[in-house]
Amino acid sequence: MKNDIRSVRLPVDFFAGNRRKLSAKLPDNCLVVLFAGKAPVMSADMDYPFFADRNFYYLTGIEQEESVLVLRKEGGNTSESLFIQTKDPLRERWTGRRLSQEDASTLSGIDSIRYVTGLEDYLKPFLSDHSIPIALEEGVKYGPAKEFEKSMRSISSERERISLGPILARIRMKKEPVEIECIERAIALTLEAMEEMCAHVRPGVTELELYTTFDHALARRGCLANAFSSIFAAGRNTLCLHYPVPLDTVEDGDLIQVDVGGRVAGLCADISRVYPANGRFTERQADLYAAVRACQESAFRTIRPGVYLSEINDAAKNTAQEELTRMGVIPGDTPADADVTSYYWHNVSHHMGHDVHDVCIRELPLEEGMVITVEPGIYIEKWGFGFRIEDDVLVTKDGCRVLSAFFPREAEEVSALITGVKGGDSPCQTSV
Ligand SMILES: [Mn+2]
């Protein structure tokens, strides 16, 4: 296997650097309190698997439940404290090893590691002084961050609160080179698994076999938490964008929409392809394929620093309108007929990073070093199918670089991948 990602981690300097970036954007005298979170209850005594808040991970490199980061900026200096669960041999017998203070310090680069049982006492003097602004995550839907926000609102309405979300979104939008390397690695991982899965595509296979083949290929390479739940949808199911339960059988003549992403050191990939079950596109399918690819090329041509996500979307949507008119799907003789939104269901781009739909401020223009997806989709209900083709791009000084360009994307290449007739090598380069 080319890509074993079990030991890939972001370096401790990365997390320390992120804390410095945040601190530089905060006013003096403020206190940051940020929670890793807690696994939500599924039912009875079952929890969902725990997944640390991405802002928390971005600042600490720690993924352990109930951890809390406290930063105190005073006189231009910022002191850092990380609170973690206490060691508990009985609990650890059930739920696995907890980090020691030394582990937590090594992973995060934070010297002061304390136990979360002491958090309340530690915060008391700061919280009783209402002149200290509190920086926190607002609008979190559940868990300790929500409880903390509620208590901050109730104990003092006059205290200044600083919302960390928008500040961290601005920082996270611009990727460090080490993050881009991990994203490239996640893309390579995804495409290796996609290639393995493609060997199973044929009429009569189930969506489930393709789904599990893909996820198994990721897991074997050490990726146990995908960027998101893999989407495998055949035939009419392609008309459901986030098709959730892949149990149907693939029929001869069907298209199969695949929308998948691996994750490396927390960073995501997000790639979509569409495959003909029997290896051959029908004329109509090929026509739509050319249309969606044309939309994608319009988007690629638009991307450069200074451009807004809405402009990329306008470019792709205009091409969709032209292509739908060319195909005769939109008659184009009245403005009402020409309503492209009946076929163009979603935006073409989103930022991608530690979250697959990464935090961002959509009103800010693109800058060099940002990573976005380009995923135009056209869905034609009366034809019984529709699809998107999705690649991930890095914004460069004067345009963009398609990070997933090395993987088969043209109609003939895609067909060749299914029929096994190779049109050439598809090397999966890795660089981390
Ligand atoms: Mn996407």
Q: What does the angle CA 298 – CA 257 – CA 266 come to, to the nearest 5 degrees?
A: 80
User: What's the gap in Å between 194 CA and the centre of ligand 1?
Assistant: 16
Residue 397: per-residue pLDDT: 97
Position 336 confidence tier, pLDDT thresholds 50, 70, 90: low
pLDDT at 432 over 50: no
Residue 424: per-residue pLDDT: 41
User: What's the gap in Å between 350 CA and the centre of ligand 1?
Assistant: 7
User: What's the gap in Å between 35 CA and the centre of ligand 1?
Assistant: 27
Residue 431: per-residue pLDDT: 37
Position 153 confidence tier, pLDDT thresholds 50, 70, 90: confident
User: What's the gap in Å between 202 CA and the centre of ligand 1?
Assistant: 25
User: What's the gap in Å between 172 CA and the centre of ligand 1?
Assistant: 17
Domains of the chain and any CATH numbers: 12-172 (3.40.350.10), 174-419 (3.90.230.10)
The more confidently predicted of residues 336 and 360 is 360
User: What's the gap in Å between 260 CA and the centre of ligand 1?
Assistant: 9
Closest-CA residue to 299 (of 208, 370, 223, 395): 395
Lowest mean pLDDT among 29-43, 165-179, 266-280, 414-428: 414-428
pLDDT at 21 over 50: yes
The mean pLDDT value of the chain amounts to: 93
Position 337 confidence tier, pLDDT thresholds 50, 70, 90: low
User: What's the gap in Å between 120 CA and the centre of ligand 1?
Assistant: 40
User: What's the gap in Å between 351 CA and the centre of ligand 1?
Assistant: 9
The more confidently predicted of residues 50 and 1 is 50
User: What's the gap in Å between 288 CA and the centre of ligand 1?
Assistant: 19
Which pLDDT tens digit goes with each residue over 309-329? 999 999 999 999 999 999 999
HEC assignment per residue over the chain: CCCCCCCCCCCHHHHHHHHHHHHHCCCCCCEEEEECCCCCEEECCEECCCCCCHHHHHHHCCCCCCCEEEEEEECCEEEEEEEECCCCHHHHHHHCCCCCHHHHHHHHCCCEEEEHHHHHHHHHHHHHCCCCCEEECCCCCCCHHHHHHHHHHHHCCCCCEEEHHHHHHHHHHCCCHHHHHHHHHHHHHHHHHHHHHHCCCCCCCEHHHHHHHHHHHHHHCCCCCCCCCCEEEEHHHHHCCCCCCCCCECCCCCEEEEEECCEECCEECCEEEEEECCCCCCHHHHHHHHHHHHHHHHHHHHCCCCCCHHHHHHHHHHHHHHHHHHCCCCCCCCCCCCCHHHCCCCCCCCECCCCCCCCCCCCCCCCCCCEEEECCEEEEHHHCEEEECEEEEEECCCCEEECCCCCCCCHHHHHHHHHCCCCCCCCCCCCC
What's the token pair of residue 399?
């345009």
User: What's the gap in Å between 117 CA and the centre of ligand 1?
Assistant: 40
Position 428 confidence tier, pLDDT thresholds 50, 70, 90: very low
pLDDT, mean of residues 298-309: 98
User: What's the gap in Å between 275 CA and the centre of ligand 1?
Assistant: 18
Position 159 confidence tier, pLDDT thresholds 50, 70, 90: confident
User: What's the gap in Å between 92 CA and the centre of ligand 1?
Assistant: 37
Which pLDDT tens digit goes with each residue over 368-402? 999 999 999 999 999 999 999 999 999 999 999 99
Give the contacts of 220 (CB within 8 A, at least 6 positions apart).
1
Position 194 confidence tier, pLDDT thresholds 50, 70, 90: very high
User: What's the gap in Å between 167 CA and the centre of ligand 1?
Assistant: 23
Counting residues of the chain whose pLDDT is more than 70, the rounded percentage is: 95
The more confidently predicted of residues 349 and 152 is 349
How are beta strands 134-136 and 31-35 bridged, if at all?
parallel
Counting residues of the chain whose pLDDT is more than 90, the rounded percentage is: 89
Position 142 confidence tier, pLDDT thresholds 50, 70, 90: confident
User: What's the gap in Å between 271 CA and the centre of ligand 1?
Assistant: 7
Task: Report residues near ion ligand 1: CB below 5 Å.
Answer: 270, 373
Position 346 confidence tier, pLDDT thresholds 50, 70, 90: very high
Position 247 confidence tier, pLDDT thresholds 50, 70, 90: very high
Which pLDDT tens digit goes with each residue over 233-243? 999 999 999 99
Which pLDDT tens digit goes with each residue over 71-115? 999 998 999 999 999 999 999 999 999 999 999 999 999 999 999
User: What's the gap in Å between 204 CA and the centre of ligand 1?
Assistant: 28
